[in-house]
Amino acid sequence: MIPTMNDDRKIHTKVPIVLPLVELEAKPEEELEEELVEERKGKLRLKALWITLGIVFGLLIIGYGISVYYFSSHFTFKTVIDGTDCSLKTVEEVEGVISRRVDGYEMLVTGRDGLRFLLTARDVGLRYVSDGQVDKILQSQNPFLWFVPVFKSDAATRQTTSPSVSYDNSKFNTKMRMLDLYNETRMRLPTDAYAVFEGSQYVVHPEDLGSTFVEGLPEKAIQDALLVMGLEVDLNEVDCYTTPEVYADNAALLEKIDTWNTYACFAVTYTFGDKTVQLDASTTMDWVIHASERNWSDYYGYDNYYGYYDYEVLWDYVIEAGGEYYTLNLAAVKAWVHNLSVTYDTVGTTRRFIDAHGVENVVEGGAWGWEISEKAEIWEIYDAFWYHTGLTRKPIYAQEAVEYVQPGEADWGKTYIEIDLTEQHMFYFVDGENVFEADVVTGAPWGGRATPQGVYSVLNKMSPAKLVGEIQASGKPEYETWVTYWLPFTWAGHGMHDANWQPWFGGDLYTYNGSHGCVNMYYYDVQELYFMVEVGTPVILHY
């Protein structure tokens, strides 16, 4: 199809562009030569730069290689082993440092009761033994990265070893003997925790760990510390000591205390006139013993003081505490009651009094006075203790006097018979008033016939009565005599009675015609006295 003028499509054609010719001006020859010179200089400078860079790089490569070689046998920068800067040191140099440190090694050993001593390397022949640990640290470092530690923190470059050491066993043993760790004068045996009575109740007394070593353990603990070069070893912390068997938190002990505290309220307050003596748990709980400790001889058999007795039933008085069985130590109870009797009984004691002449006198012996019934009192203590009672009372008496007085004073009141064995004269006081007196004849002062001095009491009144003397070898009594009035004051047969065979009474008749020990009286005198006195009236006989 041939386009026409009326065709709306555009027609593109290429039209040549004609540029005007410009005539180039030729450079002068001198300028061209200068340019060539500059170009050559530039190339030379560039070549020199490359050569310099090559030399520097080569030197760096050589230096790096030398460094790699160096650090293959030396520790890198900032290397710290066991607190010592080991940078740029060889294994041998580092081991030398460690060896010198071992040579100067000291270990402080402490223990209980102020135990404290210093152990040195020289004492035990301690020395360093190379075991490859230092070399292993060196091998762990990468010599190709010798520069890396420079950029790390100090903590990241620290290393530790457990220096391998050895010691001279002979020197060690010698040193231990010098220390004398097992000296008995310095060691305290451990003691168990136990119950102790304080104030009004039982509490735990804590255990005492003591300071006695288990043989061999201190040496082992010190040896173990030496091998790791420990700077200090506390023998208390490494369990070198013997130990108690019972500690303060022992369940059985705590149960025992709870049980015993139920008995701690026990108390008996004894009254002796205006004086009092208290027996309470502070004493009785010391008497508590393990049932296995009871002495059978305390419960059965014959006792010279008590005679036959039936204490075996005291087995019924048993405390169970902490899985164990306890009772009161009968021997301890007996001893306490007997001491109470010795202190407050007045029978046979020496007593001061004002005699019929108003003179202070003394009398000793006899059967009159206060006398505690020890056996009965023991029973009362057992009952009071087991039933936890608290009470105030008089002791149980086998015999009582008239009044409580200070020890050594007269306890027979103001109504009594007084017989002066020197003057051979009798007095009878009623409420302090002399209502009767008479001459008497007492026992002869020879042949064992003397009337006993002391304080007694009228035991009986008999009228008439037959007096019988001691049985002789013939089988017959020394005498048999009937009297009208008989007032005995000893169970041995001494008494007051009429004696119509005596020619008179008083004076010194007793020295050559004395009785067999009785108090002979004129018939009408003893008759009057017989109807005046009562059984139990005190009788004081003195010189």
pLDDT at 261: 85
pLDDT at 452: 97
Provide the whole-model pTM.
0.58
What digits encode the pLDDT tens for the residues 484-532?
A: 999 999 999 999 999 999 999 999 999 999 999 999 999 999 999 999 9
What digits encode the pLDDT tens for the residues 231-254?
A: 999 999 999 999 999 999 999 899
pLDDT at 12 over 50: no
CA neighbor of 455 nearest in space, from 356, 362, 354, 357 = 362
pLDDT at 264 over 70: yes
Which pair of tokens denotes residue 94? 């580092």
What digits encode the pLDDT tens for the residues 278-313?
A: 998 888 878 888 777 665 555 444 444 444 444 444
What digits encode the pLDDT tens for the residues 312-371?
A: 445 557 777 777 777 788 888 999 999 999 999 999 999 999 999 999 999 999 999 999
Mean pLDDT of the chain: 85
DSSP letter at 152 equals: S
What do you get for the CA distance between the two ends of the chain, in Å?
A: 193
Which pair of tokens denotes residue 512? 């050559």
Q: Cα separation of 487 and 467, whole Å?
A: 11
What digits encode the pLDDT tens for the residues 518-527?
A: 999 999 999 9
- Residue 391's pLDDT band (cuts 50, 70, 90): confident
pLDDT at 501: 95
pLDDT at 424: 98
Spell out the alpha helix ranges (H) of 323-405.
Answer: 330-344, 374-386
Q: Is 208 helix (H, G, I), strand (E, B) or coil?
A: strand
- The least confident of 389-393, 453-457, 488-492, 495-499 is 389-393
What is the number of alpha carbons within 13 Å of residue 202 lying toward its C-beta? 26
pLDDT at 46: 82
Q: Cα separation of 112 and 240, whole Å?
A: 10
**504 alpha carbon, distance to own chain's centre:** 77
Tell me which residue has tokens 């000793």: 364
What digits encode the pLDDT tens for the residues 144-161?
A: 887 788 777 766 667 777
**285 alpha carbon, distance to own chain's centre:** 17
**81 alpha carbon, distance to own chain's centre:** 50
What digits encode the pLDDT tens for the residues 41-99?
A: 777 888 888 888 888 888 888 877 887 888 878 888 888 887 778 888 898 888 788 88
User: Which residue type sits at 141?
Assistant: Q
pLDDT at 102 over 90: no
